[in-house]
Chains A and B, each alone.
Chain A
Amino acid sequence: MPGTTPAERDALNDLLQRTGARDEKAFASLYKATSARLFGVCMRMVGDRAEADDILQEAFVTVWRRAASFDPALASAFTWLVTVVRNKAIDRLRQRPAAPAADIDWEAIVDTEPGPATRAEAGEAHGRLRACLDELEAQQRRSIREAFFGGATYNELADRAKVPLGTMKSWIRRGLLQLRACLGT
C-alpha cells in the first residue's frame, strides 16, 4: 500500500510535489505507485469497468493540472489523490439515476472486516479511524462505510438499508459527531 509507512508517505508526497513542478517522470512514477489502488476505489464506487476507467483518466488529468496546489502540510498525497478520485466518482454518480436498491445486499457488503494483511499494511491513520469506527454502533458504522464506498445519497442509503430516511440521517449524523470527537482528540 503506497503512502502508509512514514517513508512511503514522504516518497509519495515528493512525487506529487515534483508532478506539480511539471516533472513528467515523477508523474509516471506516481501513476505507477497509486493507480491500482485508486482504480480499485473507482471500481468499488461505480461498479463498471469502462466508467471507472474514464474516472481514473479524468482524475489523473486533474492531478497533473492541480498538483502545484498540493501542500504536504495540509494533507498527505494519498488523501489528496483519493479525494480527487472520489470527487470525480461522486459527481458521476449524482448525474445518473439512483441505483436500484434490489441490487445491493446491505447486510452482506457493508460491515466487512479488512483482512489481516490490509490491517497490517494500512498504516497509522487508518488504524486510528478503525479504532474510532469500532466504537460506533454497527448500523452507524455500516452506513458511514457504505456512504464512503458507494458514494450514495441519504435517500439511496435508506432504500438499501430499508429504513426511513430520518433513521438513516440520524445514524450517520450521530456517527459522524462521535467520530469527530474520537478522531479530533
Chain B
Amino acid sequence: MNTTFENDKDNLRYAEYVLGLLDADARAAVAAEVAAQPEAGAAVARWQAWLAPLAVEVPAVEPPAHAWPAIQQRLGLAGAARPRLWDSLALWRWIGVGASAVAACLVVLTATRPGAPPAPAPAAQAPAVVMVSTLAGDNGQAAWTATMDVQRAELTLVPATPQPLAAGRDTELWLIPQGGAPVAVGVFPSADGKRFSLPRALVDRLGPTAVLAVSVEPAGGSPTGQPTGPVVAKGSIRAA
C-alpha cells in the first residue's frame, strides 16, 4: 500500500460515504464531489463494488403485493391500472394511523374524486356516506384502520401497527351487528391490509351499533363461518 496520507484520508471518506457513516451534510458534500469529479466517482464505485456483496447475507423478504403495481402507477407504465386515489393502499397507509385524519381526508377525496357522480345535496337525516373504525388490540394500540364508503360499498382496511402472525394463519375481518352473530367480511394479509367490496346486505348493517373485529384463523379463513381463533383487535364504527 504505497498511498499518501492525504489519499488515505480521501479514500476513507468515500468508504465512509458508501457505508453510510456520514451525517447528512458530509454525505451531501461527498455526493457533490462524486457528481463533479470523475476520480471521486471511481473511488466511490470501487468501494461500492467491494462492499455491496455483503447484501447477500440479509435474508430475502417478499415485498408487499401492492408494491409493484404502485411502482408502475408512479411511473405511468402501461401495466398500471388507471390511477385512482381511492385505490391507493400506499396513500391510505401514508395517511396512516389516525382514523379521524383518514376520515377528514376521505371527505375531501370523496367530494373531489374525478368521475364520481355529483353527490346529492346532503339532507339532514341522510345516512353518513363515509364511516371509519379504529381496530385496536387489548393494549389499546391501533392495529388497523377501516374506512367504509357506503355509496361504493367498499371497505378499505389499512394496517397501523403490523401484527406478527404465526405461519399457516390468516387474519379475518368480521362485522358484528348489535345482538347478532358475526358476519364474515373476508380474509386479508395482516401486514398489507385490503380493499373489500361489500355485499349490499352487509353495507346496510354498517353503523354505530355495529362493531368490526379481526380474528386469527387457519390459513384461508374460518372453516365454520364463525370466528374460531382469538380476536386480536376490534373497534366500533362511527360516521366520519
Which residues of A line the B interface, CB within 8 A? 1, 4, 24, 27-28, 31, 35-37, 39-41, 43-44, 49-50, 52-54, 56-57, 60-61, 64-65, 74-76, 78-79, 82-83, 86, 90-91, 93-95, 112, 114, 118, 121-123, 125-126, 129, 144-145, 147-149, 151-154, 157, 172-173, 176-177, 179-181, 183
Task: Identify which of B8, B15, B79 contacts A24 (C-beta below 8 A).
Answer: B79
Contacts A35-B67, A129-B51, A129-B54 aside, 5 further interface pairs with beta carbons under 8 A come to A57-B70, A64-B77, A78-B55, A121-B56, A122-B56
> Which 4 residue pairs of A and B lie closest in terms of their CB atoms, listed nearest first?
A126-B53, A39-B63, A36-B60, A90-B20
Kindly state whether residue B121 has any CB partner on chain A within 8 Å: no
Which residues of B sit under 8 angstroms from A54, Cβ to Cβ? 90
A-B Cβ contacts below 8 A, count: 149
Whether B78 lies near A24 (C-beta < 8 A) is yes
Which residues of B sit under 8 angstroms from A43, Cβ to Cβ? 58, 61
> Which residue of A has the minimal Cβ distance to B80?
A24
Decide: A36 near B77, CB < 8 A? Known: A145-B54, A152-B20.
no
Whether A123 lies near B56 (C-beta < 8 A) is yes
Which residues of B sit under 8 angstroms from A49, Cβ to Cβ? 64, 162, 191
The B contact surface, by secondary structure, is helix
Decide: A153 near B23, CB < 8 A? Known: A31-B68, A183-B50.
yes
Which residues of B sit under 8 angstroms from A129, Cβ to Cβ? 50-51, 53-54
Task: Report the contact-size class of chain B (Cβ under 8 Å from the partner).
Answer: 35 or more
**Among the interface residues B48, B62, B71, B90, which one has the most CB atoms of the partner chain A within 10 A?**
B71
> Which residue of B has the minimal Cβ distance to A64?
B75
Whether A57 lies near B53 (C-beta < 8 A) is no
Which residues of B sit under 8 angstroms from A50, Cβ to Cβ? 93, 159, 162
- Given the complex of chains A and B, what is the CA–CA distance between A125 and B64 in angstroms? 30
- Given the complex of chains A and B, what is the CA–CA distance between A122 and B174 in angstroms? 45
Kindly state whether residue B21 has any CB partner on chain A within 8 Å: yes
The A contact surface, by secondary structure, is helix
- Given the complex of chains A and B, what is the CA–CA distance between A81 and B48 in angstroms? 11
Task: Identify which of A39, A52, A95, A112 contacts B24 (C-beta below 8 A).
Answer: A95
Kindly state whether residue B29 has any CB partner on chain A within 8 Å: no
> Which residue of A has the minimal Cβ distance to B73?
A57
Kindly state whether residue B19 has any CB partner on chain A within 8 Å: yes
State how many angstroms separate the Cβ of A64 from the closest Cβ of chain B.
5
Decide: A41 near B55, CB < 8 A? Known: A31-B71, A35-B67, A53-B63.
yes
Which residues of B sit under 8 angstroms from A57, Cβ to Cβ? 67, 70-71, 74, 90
Whether B20 lies near A147 (C-beta < 8 A) is yes
- Given the complex of chains A and B, what is the CA–CA distance between A179 and B15 in angstroms? 10
Kindly state whether residue B52 has any CB partner on chain A within 8 Å: yes
Decide: A173 near B49, CB < 8 A? Known: A53-B63, A123-B56, A149-B54.
no
- Given the complex of chains A and B, what is the CA–CA distance between A115 and B75 in angstroms? 38
Which residues of B sit under 8 angstroms from A41, Cβ to Cβ? 55, 58
Kindly state whether residue B184 has any CB partner on chain A within 8 Å: no
**Among the interface residues B20, B59, B90, which one has the most CB atoms of the partner chain A within 10 A?**
B20
- Given the complex of chains A and B, what is the CA–CA distance between A144 and B54 in angstroms? 10
Whether B78 lies near A114 (C-beta < 8 A) is no
State how many angstroms separate the Cβ of B27 from the closest Cβ of chain A.
7
Which residues of B sit under 8 angstroms from A52, Cβ to Cβ? 63
> Which residue of A has the minimal Cβ distance to B77?
A24
Whether A94 lies near B53 (C-beta < 8 A) is no
Decide: A172 near B21, CB < 8 A? Known: A41-B55, A53-B67, A90-B27.
yes
